[in-house]
Amino acid sequence: MALDASAFVTELDSHRRYLLRVARLQLRDPDLAEDVVQDTMLAALKARDGYSGASTVKTWVTGILKHKIVDAIRARQRAPVALTELDEDADIDEFDGLFKANGAWADKPAEWGDPEASLSRQQFFEVLEMCLDNLPPKTARVFVMREVMELATEEVCKELAITPNNLWVILYRARMALRLCLEKSWFKGPAAA
């Protein structure tokens, strides 16, 4: 599905705010985030003829952004984030109530129905994005770096100056918080009806 040049530019521009929010979350530097988004938009414009329409423009340009962010993370030489700041997000004690003493769920997670069907619905992604926005910023950053951008554990740990164990604790916390939020806002909420 080839879009004409004007429609393509309009479509790209409609996703700029989303791209900037993702870049700011990951890079924690508004100026660098702006530069990366600008580079992404330019790369998308240059590669317009390569857009096959197999995915949405938003998905396609997000893939380009992902690579630009990874490049920026790898190229950037800056002071590491203090470990104590990330430790504040890594307190998993609040999730103890979800489990019995033997490690089993205290309350079995809600039935999620057909996850494939949910993933195909745009509303699900809006709820997921809202749930990510509600995570503590550092927790969301770690989750997106590892699970969305698919950076290797070593890369995430090096960028954030954390240990692999701390990374897995933060990811655990993020997954549990996302699970609770999705259950409340999607699977048990009005969207489930």
pLDDT of residue 175: 92
CATH number listed for the domain at residues 1-78: 1.10.1740.10
Query: Average pLDDT, stretch 24-48?
Result: 89
Residue 69 CB-half CA count within 13 A: 32
Band (pLDDT 50/70/90 cuts) for residue 176 is very high
Q: What is the DSSP letter of 105?
A: B
Q: What is the reported pTM? A: 0.52
Q: How is the chain split into domains, by residue range?
A: 1-78, 80-193
* pLDDT per residue as tens digits for the range 153-167: 888 898 888 999 999
Q: How many residues does the chain have?
A: 193
Query: Average pLDDT, stretch 161-179?
Result: 92
pLDDT of residue 79: 47
* pLDDT per residue as tens digits for the range 119-150: 656 677 778 888 988 889 889 889 988 888 88
93-130 as b/e: b if 16+ CB within 10 A: eeeeeeeeeeeeeeeeeeeeeeeeebeeeeebeebbee
Residue 30 has pLDDT above 80, yes or no: yes
Residue 192 has pLDDT above 70, yes or no: no
Query: Hey, what CATH topology would domain 80-193 get?
Result: Butyryl-CoA Dehydrogenase, subunit A; domain 3 (1.20.140)
pLDDT of residue 35: 93
